[in-house]
Every structure is written in structure tokens, then in C-alpha cells.
Amino acid sequence: MAEVQQQVAYLNEHLWVGQIGHLAMVTLFVTAILAIYSFFKAGKLKNAPWMNLGTSAFLVHTISTLLVIGLLLYSMFNRFYEYNFVFEQVSDDLPTTYVFVAFWEGQIGSFLLWMFWNIAMGWMIWRSKSEWAAPVLGFMLIIQAFLASMVLGIYLPGDIPIGRSPFTLLRDLNDAPIFSSADYIQSIRKMANGLNVLLQNYWNVIHPPTLFLGFAATAVPFAFALSGMWYKDHKSWLPIALPWALFAGAVLGTGILLGGAWAYEALSFGGYWAWDPVENTSFVPWLILVAGIHTNLIARNTGYSVKSTYGFYGLAFLLVVYSTFLTRSGILADTSAHAFTEMGLQKQLLLYLGTLMGLFVLLYIRTRKSIPVIEQEEKLSSREFWMFIGSLVLLFSAILITYTTSIPVYNKVFEGIGSLIGKDLSSWHRAMPLEPIAHYNKFQVWVAFFLGLLTGLSQWLRYRALGWDQNKKSYFNRLAFHAAGALALTLLVNLWLSIHAWQYQAMLFASSFAVIANTDYLIRQIKGNIKLGASALSHAGLGVMLIGILSSGLNQDIISKNTNILKEDFGSLADESLFDNVYLTKNIPQRMRDYTLLYKKDTIIRNERFYDIDIYKQGTDGKMTDKFTIHPGVVYDDQFAKILSVNPSIQRYWNRDLFTLVAQVNAHHSGNEALHQLEDSLTYRKMNTHLKDTFETKTVKAWIEAIAFESSNPDYQPEPGDLCISPIFMLESKSTGKIYRSKPSIVLRGNVVYSLSDVVNEVNTKIRLSDDLLDEYFRQEASANYSKLELKQGQEAQVQGYTFHFAGFNRHPEHPMYRADSSDIAISAFLEIRAPNGSVYQAEPIYYIRGNRPYNIPVYLPDPDLMIRFTHVDPGKETIELQVGNDHINQWTIPFEISSDYPRDDYVVLQAKIFPGINLFWSGGLLMMAGLGLALWSRKKQRRSTNA
């Protein structure tokens, strides 16, 4: 194939982009290696020329990386589909704003985003001009070189690929006949994937960059720790690394919170946290990083915990790499809802993880003995002792989460061992717990418990137990006060929430304790000096967040749950998260606990369909206390072929959210693919009947009551000259005996026939008319035997035994078949018709002129079977001309098709739950991040003032 392709001279390709790009890619990789070497030389020899060389190499590396990113963005903006990367990420109709999202959505783009942030971190370190800059940059660039290798796209001898290049041509990757055409790009334009519409939202603009900045920032304390061991200087890096760790903690934490907010607001996970492996693996590094921040504080203030600080900073970033491995190697595909698909980088990712781990362990073993250890024990009454215990609790939490999340890894390992020893070890394979959320919660509730208590306890202690003997009494007094306060708050919260498990009561008490003790510290101890309040602020935030988790997670109330499910019928199934859908029929109110729901209509905006549902809430006295409209929806692909996702609607209150989700839409709203299938599957029965003849289908007894010459179908817009025939069917439901009316129409406009079918959902019936009805009409009309009469206003005349009295004009006639136009000359005639038997009828036929052409809208009187047309006005004689004839409608044979298995198109299935106190979760989380930010800011201030 390759040879064949070379003979084709392709048109409209931009091969220069790939050539420059590939060159830049190789350059950035080589310069990263050069920079690593130079920076380590510079670090070792403390010599400026090596430092300068490293800096230059890093500069070239930076420029090359930016060039690669720039070229890719340029190709994406200009839709150079010859590149696989562009073909996969963008399409012609992708809005410009989302090109950036498309860039970092895929694996390759996200590696480049990570590299971008690494470079940014690198220059900030460089700017500090500290003696630590050289080795820290060296280690940072080792990470960078590994990331670069993922997107390098070169082949080692033996055809071993290194990375996946973003500049690979589509035609080099695929063998398809289309590539024998020189102008293939034109033909593939339409096939370009584009960005999944699910990802086209603002969350995806902010969430990935924040998370990857967090990853890049987590690498900085790691690099400092490695440098510390390399220099065997275990002291002076600690204060420099601390702000970096605080920054990383704040950014990574914000990234995780943003992910939760995204999942909650825009995705259909039904919550902000589901213990999904992908969520877990970004959360665990954060936990360890926070443990590291605490031991770093201890080490800086007391000299204890240096070893642990090394361990935590090392582990934090290694876990980031482990997370990268899990989410990108395809290993999680069986257990996670949103891992990347496999890209063939498994081995390279393992090498990355293994090298960094090996480097860390080797350096640690080599320098372990030189790390200072204080022989004297920490005092029980010291802050550092309890802080250290807290860090261990965080480590515990991380180990337990990782242990379960890694199940697929164990299976892979067993698989590997099995193939090595030639035995089938599949009986060793394990699956995720049957109740994953309960599994994680069971352990983490105690993590929350201890953390809550420890933050409150240690906040009021001092490093090295300074002044303990004097303060002992007041400390315990305060402790008692806080415990009492926490107990009061626990009781108060219990009035609001129903918490049955004692474990959660314990967690609630500990969280309340954290809130009270830390808030008290903020108020009393720091006396307005906010800079000292960082830790208390974070920890109070943690307490608030934990209470928020208890309220919104544990006390989630599924209000759409069918509470009539009987325990004796369903056993333990009744307690599962099942039976939680409510069925809503259009325009029929539906009760759901103390809410009444009314599905009013649905609207399509762009590629989404929104359902407008009114909700009324009743108080205990039955009075309406609240009324609002929700708009949950479904998201289609751009062709409306199928539904991609659902879009929740959240009604927010200060103390709770009402969260609604469309669980199922009717078949007619499921996209065009389903709609076509549906149309194909409907069976129609062809019938011919006369007026009033009864007939039966599976669901109804029916007859045609009458025929009208207009339509009230909302999709029908009448035009002058339209002929519209609408038989009126009466359908009597066999199951309920209720009678429904159905009025399908057939319209002749010029030479075109439109058939407007009609649906009666209640009896699953759809009726459409056959074109033959028009033939029948014209056949009957030809023999209708019309008589003409001319009348002045007030005059009477007789036709076929009927007396016609022309009572007057209406200059503003109204009729379903007439849409007034300002240029129209339109009138209708009031007629009174007396039959031979004395009955009196009224009719108002219309005559109008539009654009020099006369039109009329006749009136048909079914009982005397008279068709009355108003055909002319003679202004000179002041007369009108009428045509009156018999259409013999009761003799018509009316042909139609009827289906009685039509699925209803007027319902939606909804799920609704209440998240009480979810704002506690968000605000607690934000307070925690604000605390980290504040700590960072006050350290900077402090350092600046000590430097000055």
C-alpha cells in the first residue's frame, strides 16, 4: 500500500507543518536531555557555564515545545485534516472556543498541556536563582523528558515505537481506498470526528488545565525532595519547597473539586463523587501531598519528620504517575466510567513510573543515614506529635483507597505470572466490591473522624509543647468548651438530618468539633491577623465540608422513588437504589410525595431537547408553598441520530438542591435512528369505510363521525388555494370505554399532496389518510351538481328546496383555513338557510382576493349535505355569487391506514433527588482551598519581609 500511495501526488496537504513539527519534537526531546545533563553538572560543580548551558537548552526546549503546541493549534484552527490528530479532535462545525478543549481532550494533547505547565513551573524555579534551581530543574526535566517521549513518535531500530506523534498523517495510519484519490482531504472533511458534544462545555475549558497544573506543581516538591537527597542537604530545601507544595495542594484540590462540580452539574453521574477509579487516582496524590505539607511544617518548625517529608513528597508525585498509568494504559477500562482508551503506551508509562520510583528509592537508600533524626521524642502535648498522627491518617486513607482501586492491576499481575509459569490463574482474579460506595465509605468515615478530631486538638497546641505547663489548664478548659460546642452542633444537625449509623454520628461529632475549635481559634487567637489563620481556616473548611458530605451524600433523598414497593414482594431489593423513576404524561399532573409535577412541553435548542416541567410543592396543610419550572434535557449528536447524554436540571436553594434527570425519553425523542426504526416497525392496516360505519382494531372500536374541510394540526400552515380534507374519527378505547377524537388530514397544495397523520396516545393509535381520498373527493365533486345563486344583502332565494337568506357581510372573517394578510380583500357572507323540513342552519363562507387572484373557503353543512361556496362579488350590482351543491359525503369511501401499536410520544421518565446541604460541601471545599492559598500568600509575605 505504501508504495501505491507514494505515486499519488496529493492535493491540499500541508506537509510543512508535520516536517517542522517533527523537527521541533526531536529538538525538544534532545534539548531536554541536554538540559538535564547540564543542570546536574551545574548542580554538582556549582558552576555558572554549565548553568548557562542548561538554561540555553531549556530555552530551546521551551521554544520547541511552544512551537509544537502552536503548530498543532494552527492545524486545528485551519482544519488540516490530513493529520490524524486534527481529524480526530476537530470538525468543520466545531465552534472556535472549543478548539482548545479539543486540543487537550485527547491523550496526546493532555501530555502536551502537562508539558506546558511543567515548563511554566520550570521557569519560575529558574527565576528564583536559588542554589537549588539547578538540581530541581534537572529532576523536573527528567519528568519532562518522559512526558515528551509519549508524544515523540520516533522508531528505534527493530521498529520499536517511542510515543505517538501528533503529526502522524491520517493516510499513514490507515489503509483505505479513499487514499488513492489525490484530493482525499475534500472527501474526508465530513468524516472528521470533532469534539464529542458532551465535552463542549465550560467545565472542560477549566477543569483539565487546572488538574494538569496541579500535576505539574506536585512535581516541584518531588524534585526538591530528590535534590535534597542528592545534595545530602536535608534542611535548607524544606522552607523553599513548602510554598510550592501549598500551591500544588490548592491547585490540585481545586481541580478535583471542579471535576466534582462538572460531574454534578453537567454529567449524568447523579452526584459529585462516586468513588470512580479515575476520581480516586487524582484524589489520592492530593491526600499524600497534604500529608507532606504537614510534615514539612513540622520539619521546618521543629526538625522532626524530615524523613516523612521526603516520603510524602516522593509518594505524592509517584502516585500522580501511577494515576497517569492507570487512566491511560486502558487497564481501568473494565472498572471506570471515564478512563482514556488504550493508546499502546502501556510499557512506556510503566518505564516512566519505574524509573522515577527507582530514582527515588535509590537516592533514599544512599542518603538515608545522613537524614537527621532527633533522638528525643515528640511530647504528647506538642502540636507536631498530633500533626504527624494526622499525616499518618491521611496515608492510611490513601492506602485503603489505592488498595481497592488497584484491583485491575492485581489481575494483570496474576495474568502475567500465570503466563510466565504456564498456569491459568484466572481464579485469582478479583472484581470491584459489590457495593463500591459503601465499601469506600465504611473505611473513610473513620479517616474523617480522626481528621476532624485531630485538626481541632492540634490547632490549640504549640510546637515543641512550648509553655505547656502554664497553658495546660486553659487548654483543657477550652477543649471541654469545644467538645460541648461540638456536641451541641451535633444535636442541632440531628434535628435536620436523619443519621442512623453510629459511625456517622461519630463522624458528625468530629466534624462539628473541627468547625467549632477552628472557628474559635480564628476568632480568639489570631485577633484579626488573617495571615496566621490559614490552617484554622482550612480545617474549619474541612469540618464544614465533612458535614456537607454527611448531609448531601448520606441524606440524599430520592423523591421520585416509588414508595409503594412492598418489602414482602421484593425483599432486600426494596432498599436498593432501584424503583426511582417517575412517569410523566404531558399535561397530566403527577404526584410525587409532597410535590406535583406537570410536564408541559419540550423545546429543542441547538442539539439539546429540554423538557419544561412545572413543580408545585405542597405544605403539610396542602397549600402550595413553592412553584418553579425545571428544564432537564437530553443531548443529541449533531445529526440528531441518537442521544449522547442527559443534562440534569438543578433547582438551588440555600440549604438544598433539587436535582432532576431525564431517565428515559419516549421512542420518538430518542433520535432519528430510533425514529426510523420505529416507523419501520409500526404495522398499518389499510381500510376503506363509509361515514358512521364502525370498525375495530386491537385497541379501539371506531367510526368516522364526519368530514371537515380544515385542519387544526399545529404543524399545518394554511395557504391560499389549499384543499384540506379531514375525516373526524371517534375512537372508543376497548380497555377504558373512553371516546377519543382523531382528525388526520390530507392537503392538496398546487400539485403536492401532504398527509397529516394524527395520533391518539391513550389508545396507541396513529391514523394516516391515503391519497385516494382526494380522488374520491374529485369524483364526488364532479357529480355534485352545483347550482348558482346571486343575492343582494337582505335578499332570499331558493335552491334545491332550501331557502338562502343573505343577512350581511363580515369584513374581518376568521377561519382555520384563512390566514389574513394586510393586502387581502376579504369578506364573508352571513347566510341563514332554511330546510324544507323547517330546520335552520347558519353558514359563513369566505371570499377573498390576494394578489389579484380570487379564492374561496367553502362551508360544508353535514346534515343537509350542502357544500356552499362564495365565488364572486359584483360591486356594480352589489350582489354576491354562491354555488351550492350536494357532495354526498355519506356515500364516500374513505381510504385510510391505521396502526394500533404506536408507542406513546407524550411522556418522559424522570428521576428527582434532593441533596440537602450540598452548599456546605462546596463552601467547605472552597474554604479549604482558600486556607491553602492564604498560607501560600502569608509565607511569601513573610519571606519577603525576612529577606528585606
In sequence order, the β-bridge partners of residue 855 are 848
- For other proteins, which is the closer residue by CB, 507 or 859? 507
Query: Interface residues for other proteins in 83-142 (CB under 8 A)?
Result: 88
Q: Segment contacting other proteins (CB under 8 A): 222-230, 291-299, 401-409, 473-481?
A: 401-409
Q: How far is CA 445 from CA 61, 103, 228, in A?
A: 47, 39, 36
C-beta of 168: minimal distance to other proteins in Å?
13
Residue 182 is a binding residue for other proteins (CB under 8 A): no
The least distance separating other proteins from the CB of residue 700, rounded to whole angstroms, comes to 16
* Binding residue count for other proteins, defined by CB under 8 A: 52
Choice from 341, 751, 837, 946 touching other proteins (CB under 8 A): 341
Binding to other proteins by CB under 8 A, coded x per residue (else -) over 660-689, reads ---xx-x-----------------------
Nearest distance in Å: CB 298, other proteins: 12
Among 404, 535, 538, 733, binds other proteins (CB under 8 A): 404
Query: What are the residues whose beta carbons fall under 8 Å from the beta carbon of 380, sequence distance 6 or more?
Result: none
Least CB distance to other proteins at residue 672 (A): 15
Which CB sits closer to other proteins, 154 or 343? 343
Nearer to other proteins, 158 or 571 (CB): 571
Residue nearer to other proteins on the CB measure, 19 or 186? 186
Among 232, 347, 430, 690, binds other proteins (CB under 8 A): 430
- The least distance separating other proteins from the CB of residue 84, rounded to whole angstroms, comes to 10
Please select the residue that binds other proteins; options are 78, 180, 193, 681, rule is CB under 8 A: 193
Q: Rule CB under 8 A: choose which of 325, 385, 611, 870 binds other proteins.
A: 385
Per CB under 8 A, which region of 221-229, 566-574, 595-603, 699-707 contacts other proteins? 566-574
> Which of 119, 643, 725, 748 touches other proteins by CB under 8 A?
643
Q: Is 631 in the site for other proteins (CB under 8 A)?
A: no
Q: What is the largest CA-CA distance in the chain?
A: 126
- Binding flag, residue 199, other proteins (CB under 8 A): no
By CB neighbour count within 10 A (0-12 exposed, 13-18 middle, 19+ buried), where does 941 fall? exposed
CA distance 278 to 208: 13
Minimum CB separation of residue 631 from other proteins in Å reads 20
> Of 442 and 815, which CB lies nearer to other proteins in the complex structure?
442
**Of 159 and 377, CB closest to other proteins:** 377
In the complex with other proteins, which residue's Cβ is closer, 581 or 755? 581
Q: What distances in angstroms separate CA 555 from CA 494, 916, 917, one per listed residue?
A: 11, 7, 9
* Shortest Cβ 777–other proteins spacing (Å): 37
Question: Cβ neighbours of residue 930 under 8 Å, at least 6 residues apart?
Answer: 537, 538, 541
Residue 157 DSSP label: T
Q: Are strands 624-630 and 557-558 parallel, antiparallel or unpaired?
A: unpaired
User: Which residue is listed with cell 487516582?
Assistant: 281
Q: Residue 380, interface with other proteins (CB under 8 A)? A: yes
Q: Which position among 37, 123, 231, 396 is part of the footprint of other proteins (CB under 8 A)? A: 396
Report which residue type is found at 70. G
- Residue pair 691/890 in contact (Cβ under 8 Å)? The answer is yes
Of the residues 392, 532, 791, 835, which one makes contact with other proteins according to CB under 8 A: 392
Residue 529 one-letter amino acid: N
Which three cell numbers, joined as nine digits, stand for 567? 418489602
When asked if residue 377 is in the footprint of other proteins (CB under 8 A), the reply is: yes
Instruction: Take residue 557 and report the three cell numbers written for it.
Output: 433523598
Stretch in the footprint of other proteins (CB under 8 A) among 41-49, 168-176, 227-235, 358-366: 168-176
The least distance separating other proteins from the CB of residue 312, rounded to whole angstroms, comes to 14
* CA–CA gap between residue 66 and residue 31 (Å, rounded): 14
Which position among 37, 100, 231, 443 is part of the footprint of other proteins (CB under 8 A)?
443
Distance (Å, whole) CA 241 – CA 313: 10
Taking CB under 8 A as the criterion, which residues in 567-606 touch other proteins? 570-571, 573, 576-583
User: 105 or 776, CB closer to other proteins?
Assistant: 105
Contact between 405 and other proteins per CB under 8 A: no
Q: How many C-beta neighbours within 10 Å does residue 224 have?
A: 27
Q: Residue 587 CB, nearest distance to other proteins (Å)?
A: 15
> Which of helix, strand or coil describes residue 409?
helix
Q: Which is nearer to other proteins, 203 or 386 (by Cβ)?
A: 386
The span from the CA of 469 to the CA of 485, in Å, is 25
Grid coordinates of 879: 350582489
Shortest distance, position 187 Cβ to other proteins, whole Å: 12
The interface with other proteins within residues 906-925 (CB under 8 A) comprises 907, 909
CB of 175 to other proteins, least distance (A): 6
Pairwise CA distance, residues 598 & 915, whole Å: 22
Out of 4, 11, 361, 431, name the contact with other proteins by CB under 8 A: 431
Which residues, including other chains, have CB under 8 Å from residue 798's CB and lie 6 or more apart? 804
Alpha carbon 788 to chain centroid, angstroms: 68
Between 172 and 719, CB nearer to other proteins: 172
Q: Which residues contact 362 (CB under 8 A, 6 or more apart)?
A: none
CB of 873 to other proteins, least distance (A): 54
Between CA 310 and CA 237 the distance in angstroms is: 11
d(CA 280, CA 260): 12
Distances (CA, A) of 299 to 222, 313, 642, 693: 16, 13, 58, 96
Measured CA to CA, the distance from residue 730 to residue 111 in angstroms comes to: 66
Judged by beta carbon, residue 124 or residue 431, the one nearer other proteins is 431
Sites for other proteins among residues 506-535 (CB under 8 A): none
Distant-in-sequence contacts of 143-146, Cβ < 8 A, 24+ apart: 143/118, 143/219, 143/223, 143/356, 144/32, 144/61, 144/115, 144/118, 144/119, 145/29, 145/32, 145/33, 145/36, 146/351, 146/352, 146/355, 146/356
**What phi and psi values does residue 113 have, to the nearest 5 degrees?**
-65, -45
User: Residues 72-91 vs other proteins: string with x where CB under 8 A?
Assistant: ----------------x---
Q: Which residues of 747-764 are buried (b: 16+ CB within 10 A; e: fewer)?
A: bbeeeeeeebbbbbbbbb
- Closest contact distance (angstroms) between CB of 339 and other proteins is 10
Q: Report the residue number, 376 or 852, with the smaller CB distance to other proteins.
A: 376
With binding defined as CB under 8 A, does residue 386 bind other proteins? Answer: no
Nearer CB in complex with other proteins: 48/578: 578
CB neighbours of residue 842 within 10 Å? 12
Number of neighbours of residue 174 by Cβ within 10 angstroms: 12
Please select the residue that binds other proteins; options are 196, 301, 503, 505, rule is CB under 8 A.
196
In the complex with other proteins, which residue's Cβ is closer, 30 or 644?
A: 644
- Nearest CA among 86, 82, 73, 75 for reference residue 170: 82
Nearer to other proteins, 199 or 258 (CB): 199
Binding residues for other proteins, rule: CB under 8 A, are 88, 174-176, 191, 193, 196, 333-334, 341, 377-378, 380, 385, 388-389, 392, 396, 399-400, 403-404, 407, 429-435, 439, 443, 562, 570-571, 573, 576-583, 642-643, 663-664, 666, 904, 907, 909
